[in-house]
Amino acid sequence: MIKVCSVVGARPNFMKMTPIVHELARRGVEQFLVHTGQHYDARMSDVFFDELNLPKPDVFLGVGSDSHAKQTAAIMVAFEATCLEFRPDLVIVSGDVNSTLAAAIVAAKLMIPLAHVEAGLRSFDRAMPEEVNRVLTDRVSDLLFASEESGVTHLRNEGVPEARIHLVGNCMVDSLFKHVDVAVSRSPWNEFGLEPGSYALVTLHRPSNVDEIEALRTLMATINRVAEHLPVLFPVHPRTRARLAQEAIATTPGVRLTDPLPYLTFLGLMAKAKCVLTDSGGIQEETTALGVPCLTLRENTERPATITCGTNRLVGNDPAQIEAGVAEIRAGHWPTGSRPPFWDGHAAVRVVDVLDAWGAERGTPLT
Ligand code: UD1
């Protein structure tokens, strides 16, 4: 029997890893969960464990925020010690955050087989720290689980052997389908005085949008104008909150700022939004799964299926494109979209099926 170590660290990891941890548990696989502590505020971390029913981490590395090098290095030092103590036979990482890369390098150097969930996504924009994390993590992974067809194509083009690549679908969408009905039944819009189907939901946290102060000013001015037609609810990431305060950037009364929201509250709000404006990666996917119009405040996306199949459009931080997009959505001129292949709520089952076959082939079955 083998021992599996799953690593999480930042908010988007939790929804991707939970269905895999649950599926491993259902099949009786020996496993332990490591939380790096990259995100540590209760609203960015604990609440997700509670709502997703993700077991408490067996090991908490408590690394916290720092520069990229220091954060990545601190996770590596702590995770290496964890691996030496617990001796996992397989490490699973997901997504593209610094915790993903740090854990991947440690596993590779200790010669522990490594699985990457959400492999192969590429924005081809090295100014995004996540792009560096994706490329390097894939480079050292043994099992690469792609969420969409573009991931498979990129991995093939980069010379990854075919046998390592598995198109399994989207684990984040597994979590979404499991929870969306309960999330909507709670009517989270009431808390903010909103009507379902008649508000815009905004999130912003990318350094290119919030650390570049002119970009942030332009975006906030545009959001203020959008709010003249459609009430805006804006749960503010801590990074963004700090910039708005530092630069004294004001919002109009139509824009409601809140702290980061729990998973179920945000999911319910997203499901009944008129539209979503975001620079997040995961929210582009979640809106496509829900069929809700999404304007992505970026020049590129590593998730092209959300555009070709889904409800997403890239608008950068250009006020004219953003306002034109919102006007089209309000007029009802927006594709309803369809879900990319395997975004069906069963991606984690396919991941564990592949792990099962991989273990059997090596003579080390999962159970
Ligand atoms: C990280 C990921 C990003 C992901 C995002 C989701 C990297 C490189 N970036 O970005 O891909 O989309 O998470 O949220 O891994 N902070 C708090 N409390 C917290 C966590 C962070 O106040 O619990 C503040 C700190 O001031 C910190 C800043 O937010 O310096 C940024 O946090 P960090 O984890 O470095 O990056 P994110 O912007 O959250």
Residue 55 lies in a domain: yes
Are both 62 and 152 inside the same structural domain?
A: yes
Give the ligand 1 atom nearest the CA of 95: 11
pLDDT of residue 75: 98
- The catalytic residue among 35, 39, 205, 346 is 205
Residue 336 falls inside a structural domain: no
Atom of ligand 1 nearest to the CA of 98: 15
Catalytic annotation on 229? no
C-alpha span between 183 and 161 (Å, rounded): 41
- Ligand 1 centroid to residue 1 C-alpha, Å: 36
pLDDT in tens, 216-237: 999 999 999 999 999 999 999 9
Average pLDDT over residues 67-80: 98
What number does the ligand 1 atom closest to the CA of 239 have?
29
Could you tell me the CATH number of the domain that includes residue 143? 3.40.50.2000
Q: How far apart are CA 202 and CA 276, in angstroms?
A: 6
pLDDT category at 177 given cuts 50, 70, 90 is very high
Q: What are φ and ψ of residue 5, in 5° steps?
A: -115, 120
**Nearest CA owner, ligand 1 atom 13:** 10
Residues 127 and 216 in one domain: no
pTM of the model: 0.97
Give the pLDDT of residue 348: 98
Residues 89 and 144 in one domain: yes
Q: Mean per-residue pLDDT for 69-88?
A: 98
Per-residue pLDDT at 314: 98
Q: What pLDDT score was predicted for residue 52?
A: 97
Report if residue 367 sits inside a domain.
no
Q: Is the pLDDT of residue 79 over 90?
A: yes
Judge if 63 and 199 occupy the same domain.
no
Spatial separation of the C-alpha atoms in residues 127 and 19, rounded to whole Å: 31
The closest-lying atom of ligand 1 relative to the alpha carbon of residue 10 is: 13
Q: Is there a domain that residue 202 lies in?
A: yes
For 143-154, how does the pLDDT look when each residue is reduced to its tens digit (9 = 90+)? 999 999 999 999
Q: Assess if residue 75 is contained within a domain.
A: yes
Structure tokens at 290: 């829900």
Who lines ligand 1 at CB under 6 A?
Answer: 10-12, 38-41, 44, 65, 96-98, 129-130, 205, 237-239
Residue 92 counted as domain residue: yes
Pocket test for ligand 1, best of 13, 15, 38, 96 (most atoms within 8 A of CB): 38
Would the pLDDT of 1 be above 90? no
Pair (125, 202) in one structural domain? no
The domain in which residue 23 lies consists of 3-170+343-362
**pLDDT of 168 strictly over 90:** yes
Q: Is the pLDDT assigned to residue 367 strictly greater than 90?
A: no
Instruction: Answer yes or no: do 240 and 137 share one domain.
Output: no
Shared domain check, 189 and 70: no
Is 279 domain-assigned? yes
- Tell me: do 285 and 187 sit in the same domain: yes
Number of domains in the chain: 2
- What average pLDDT score do residues 349-366 get? 96
- The answer to whether residue 287 is domain-embedded is yes
Q: What's the mean pLDDT when you consider all of the chain? A: 97
Q: Whose CA is nearest to atom 9 of ligand 1?
A: 97
Indicate if 80 and 151 belong to the same structural domain.
yes
DSSP string computed for 72-121: HHHHHHHHHHHHHHH--SEEEEESSSHHHHHHHHHHHHTT--EEEETTT-
- Report the C-alpha dihedral over residues 121, 133, 102, 92, rounded to 10 degrees: 0
Domain match, 143 and 190 both: no
Is residue 195 predicted with pLDDT exceeding 90?
yes
Are 161 and 218 contained in the same domain? no
Centre of ligand 1 from the C-alpha of residue 356, in Å: 34
Per-residue pLDDT reduced to its tens digit, 286-320: 999 999 999 999 999 999 999 999 999 999 999 99
Residues 78 and 130 grouped into a single domain: yes
Distance in Å, CA 239 to ligand 1 centroid: 7
